[in-house]
Amino acid sequence: METLITLWHTTGLYALTVGMLAMIVVGLVLIYLAVVHKFEPLLLLPIGFGAVLTNIPLAGLNDDGGLLYYLYHVGVSTGVFPLIIFLGVGALTDFSALLGNPRVLLLGAAAQFGIFATLLGAIALNWVPAIEFTLEQAAAIAIIGGADGPTAIYLSSRIAPELLGAIAVSAYSYMALVPIIQPPIMRLLTSQKERKIRMVQLKPVSKRARILFPLMVLLLTALLLPTAAPLIGMFCFGNLMRETGVVERLSKTAQNELINIVTIFLGLAVGAQLSAETFLTAQTLGILLLGATAFVLGTASGVLMAKLMNLVSTTKINPLIGAAGVSAVPMAARVVNKEGLAADPQNFLLMHAMGPNVAGVLGSAVAAGVLLALVG
């Protein structure tokens, strides 16, 4: 009998707490969303599985010496994994749409308004009992508004690592929900006539311009805002490999094998931070609410900026493309195109939306650099 009791005490069922069970369910829900609804599956699937693994009692996967422990401390806490992801994203990015219509850079910049508005909102939540955010934590939460998962992970790992799990899940969840969150905001802020605006064909962009652009962006960013140089630098290096065409093997590796391997490790490491003791708090609820607010404000800001530009310009911009400025490449651009086709079946906005979409990637990285410089 004593042997059976001892054996029972060594099982995971004996050590399982209500909090652990709840977080295992959260992990399974993330897996469900990835598999059934195809919501950002490349990251929600490994994040959800990592959450299940880290909450298995007595397994020790996230304890000192465990696999998830090393993945987190080697790749996430150091910021290495997000930077490598940015290298791959840069190699996948085509700036032709932005260079063909440079005005849309303003839309990508305007969409970052949600970041700084949410920073103030996070600080204001300190008036709510049981919720208290430091300035560093508020800045890390605010970057969710950039709708850029690697940037959110990078910044939170630098200034608020204790909130990394909640911030990462919030960022990627809202990115996955772009097709649900954005359309109502876009329709609310635009008229049927505005949604039917057809934009002029993009200007052709030379190869020389595409090669010089990442170099110019890097030099300007590094000189004016050195704290953004790691993210922008890796992004521009990946893009330069793509556009020069002289290192095709390296470019394809960055676009495929490298980014895929790191995505697996990054997702598992982030999921490992979803332990019951760190996630099931009032702060987490505040982060989820602020993340949604940031995303809504970013979408609205991009659309309103496009409407403002139309007041002072003879060449009209379809305001829908402003919503793509929140980044979330390329999903936000696809949502814009879908809304444009719903208003006019012959109005194809995908390439026009890619301009503010890639501008949003740069904008979120610059915003992260600004926040890091201010509070890091």
Q: Mean pLDDT lowest for which of 3-12, 14-23, 108-117? A: 3-12
User: Nearest Cα to 175, choosing from 294, 256, 278?
Assistant: 294
CA distances from 196 to 151, 190, 300, 301, 340 (A): 34, 10, 18, 20, 7
Phi, psi of 123 (to 5 degrees): -65, -40
Q: What does the buried/exposed string (b/e) look like for 247-268 if buried means 16 or more CB atoms within 10 Å of the residue's CB?
A: eeeebeebbeebbeebbbbbbb
The kind and range of the H/E element at 78 are none
What the block records as the tokens of 371 is 């926040």
Q: Mean pLDDT lowest for which of 5-14, 166-175, 246-255? A: 5-14
Is residue 348 within 8 A of residue 331, CB to CB? The reply is: no
- Residue entry with tokens 């906005």: 349
Is pLDDT above 70 for 8? no
Q: What is the mean pLDDT of residues 167-194?
A: 87
Q: pLDDT band for 180, please (50, 70, 90 cuts).
A: confident
Q: What is the pTM of this model?
A: 0.89
* Structure confidence at residue 303 (pLDDT): 95
What the block records as the tokens of 195 is 């949604």
- Residue entry with tokens 């394809």: 252
Is residue 100 within 8 A of residue 204, CB to CB? The reply is: yes
Whole-angstrom distance, CA of residue 228 vs CA of residue 331: 24
Q: pLDDT band for 146, please (50, 70, 90 cuts).
A: confident
* Structure confidence at residue 192 (pLDDT): 93
Q: What is the pLDDT of residues 316-352, one digit of tens each?
A: 999 999 999 988 778 889 999 999 999 999 999 999 9
Is residue 139 within 8 A of residue 311, CB to CB? The reply is: no
The kind and range of the H/E element at 328 are none
Secondary structure E strands in 205-352 = none
Chain centroid to CA 28? 21
HEC string for 256-278: HHHHHHHHHHHHHHHHCCCCHHH
**DSSP, residue by residue, 175-220:** HHTHHHHHHHHHHHHS-HHHHTPPPPPPPP--HHHHHHHHHHHHHH
* Structure confidence at residue 9 (pLDDT): 63
Is pLDDT above 90 for 285? no
Q: What is the pLDDT of residues 43-100, one digit of tens each?
A: 889 989 999 999 998 888 888 889 999 999 999 888 899 999 999 999 999 999 999 9
Q: How many Cβ atoms are within 10 Å of 219's Cβ, its own excluded?
A: 13
Using a pLDDT cut of 90, give the percent of the chain over it.
54
Phi, psi of 200 (to 5 degrees): -70, 155
